[in-house]
Amino acid sequence: MVCVLFVCLGNICRSPMAEAVLRDMVEKRGLSSAIKVDSAATCSWHVGEQPHKGTREKLKEFGISTSGMKGRQLSTDDFETFDYIVGMDNSNIQNIREMLGQPDHPKIFRFLDLTPHGKDVPDPYYTGDFQETYELVVEGCEALLNKILSEIK
Ligand code: 4NP
């Protein structure tokens, strides 16, 4: 079993979107028993909350369910549990490294560094543009799934 954890600031916009999109891809490829997907926040502000309305509506538009998803905060145990700890932006990466006490571990990396974009995922909590974020998340998830498949063979 390969375990993937997406991390953003609040765990209500970007990381739950990536979690739901990757899980959908994994299910469609019949890989659910091989790849587990989760997400978490660096802050505690939205613990227990469902994803942001904008994330829920964007995913619904593409037939992707967010049912049962609830925000949680990153914990030190996550470093042992997960094989890929994927931050949405550079500030997430800094916070993850500090919270997990791992200054430079290869399993902690920035999501869109897997794509030619090599940039932060724009935060729709501030931009209001959930479509832009969704498109980048899909590209990132395709790249991440290819990386995982090449590494588990
Ligand atoms: P996220 O976006 O990190 O993509 O979930 C945010 C969610 C909430 C807040 C900021 C960003 N906030 O300030 O509450």
The answer to whether the beta carbons of residues 114 and 141 sit under 8 Å apart is no
Please name each of the domains of the chain with its CATH number.
2-152 (3.40.50.2300)
The pair of structure tokens assigned to 125 is: 């909590």
Q: Clarify whether 14 is annotated catalytic.
A: yes
Of 54, 61, 69, give the one whose Cα is nearest residue 23.
Answer: 69
The answer to whether the beta carbons of residues 35 and 119 sit under 8 Å apart is no
CA of 128 to the centre of ligand 1 (A): 11
Q: How far apart are the first and last CA of the chain?
A: 12
Q: Clarify whether 110 is annotated catalytic.
A: no
Pocket test for ligand 1, best of 9, 47, 52 (most atoms within 8 A of CB): 9
Q: How confident is the prediction along the chain (153 residues), in pLDDT tens digits per residue? A: 999 999 999 999 999 999 999 999 999 999 999 999 999 999 999 999 999 999 999 999 999 999 999 999 999 999 999 999 999 999 999 999 999 999 999 999 999 999 999 999 999 999 999 999 999 999 999 999 999 999 986
Q: What is the C-alpha R_g of the chain?
A: 14
Of 16, 13, 15, 37, give the one whose Cα is nearest residue 25.
Answer: 37
pTM for the complete prediction?
0.98
